[in-house]
Chains A and B, each alone.
Chain A
Amino acid sequence: MPGTVLGFTEAQIASFGLTVGLGGFILFMLFIVFNLARESKAGKFGTFVLLLVLSFGMLGFLAKSVIKWFVE
């Protein structure tokens, strides 16, 4: 079929890329946060606070973008 790669359209590939890529990026960010907490010797509770605050901030930012995209 013309205009496709392995039977997938450009829109489908972009959609897969966005879903998998974004998920992977979030996991990578969480790994960075976890590593940061470990290397800074934040302690066990400090690790929890860092993970919670940064992941909340990150997911909040993501949620804001999604809401804005829906509304606009």
Chain B
Amino acid sequence: MLAAMNEPPTQPQTATAITVTAPLRWLALGWQDLRTNPVPGLLHGLAASIFGMLLWLWAGSQFWWLVGAFSALPLLAPVLLVGLLLLSRQAQLGQRAGLREVLRLWLAADARMVVFGVLLGLAGMAWVLISAGLLLLWTDQAIQTPGDFFRLVVLADDSSLFVLWITLGALLAAPVFASSVVTLPLLLDTEQPLPAAVAQSWRSVANYPVVMTLWALLIAGLVAIGLATYLLGLIVVLPWLGHASWHAYEDFRRAGALQVSAPEPEVN
């Protein structure tokens, strides 16, 4: 399966400069992919949205379950969206892929992607624990429901807890984002080991800090809109971001910022 995915792209490779407007171009290209082949992408989004709604119904009054699930969502989303990366990749190769191909990719259970998913899950769990600890230490009232969180943290006259909470979240999100932003497309497109792919992802972020900050803010903003619309927005937002992520990777690859082929063996 992976060998088949490692066919060289057939389209002419033109280097694209990565400027601050690049994230908007990735979104535009991702939107184009979603419009060209909407069904598999929207089904991904629908599944995530229904899962979120069921979780809400089940755990609506058990706030920590909700915090855990929704905090982990942006961290785990890259793993769920690997199918969308495949769809965009195949579209770029001039092939129309569907759910069958996505299912084959999932069933292949690439160990690198499984390990990566577990690591992201652990990062999500760490955030939940840090977040819970902070809120418990700061407020003297129990937070049991989303309404309590809204009243005691978001609507509080004193903004310091909310700003501290969101800043801590960003501090944890920074290394997670840096570790994942181009890792999954790299794993999909090449046979590089996981540590090498993660290292390349960190290098991309370090080399383009402003562009990557803008990209992270756009992702966070769109996911926030998806969540704020009673999760209905996620039906469109998740596949859109998934397709756009492929184009982000493509831009970095074409700009020569990523090493996609195995290093040449040294000849003595």
A contact residues vs B (CB 8 Å cutoff): 34, 37, 43-45, 47-49, 51-53, 55-57, 59-61, 63-64, 67-68, 71-72
A60 proximity list for chain B (CB < 8 A): 162-163, 166-167
Give the docked Cα–Cα distance between A45 and B159 (Å): 28
Give the docked Cα–Cα distance between A64 and B157 (Å): 10
Cβ of B228 to closest chain A Cβ, rounded Å: 9
B210 proximity list for chain A (CB < 8 A): 34, 51
In the bound complex, do residue A48 and residue B155 qualify as a contact, i.e. CB atoms below 8 Å apart? no
In the bound complex, do residue B174 and residue A53 qualify as a contact, i.e. CB atoms below 8 Å apart? yes
In the bound complex, do residue B163 and residue A57 qualify as a contact, i.e. CB atoms below 8 Å apart? yes
Give 6 A-B pairs besides A45-B209, A51-B213 with Cβ atoms closer than 8 angstroms.
A48-B212, A51-B209, A59-B221, A60-B166, A64-B163, A68-B154
Give the docked Cα–Cα distance between A37 and B209 (Å): 11
Most buried by B among A37, A56, A57, A71: A56
Cβ of B225 to closest chain A Cβ, rounded Å: 11
Q: Which of B202, B220, B221 contacts A45 (CB 8 A)?
A: B202
In the bound complex, do residue A56 and residue B207 qualify as a contact, i.e. CB atoms below 8 Å apart? no
The 8 A CB mask of B167-210 against A (1 = contact, 0 = none) is 10111011001100000000000000000000000100111011
In the bound complex, do residue A59 and residue B163 qualify as a contact, i.e. CB atoms below 8 Å apart? no
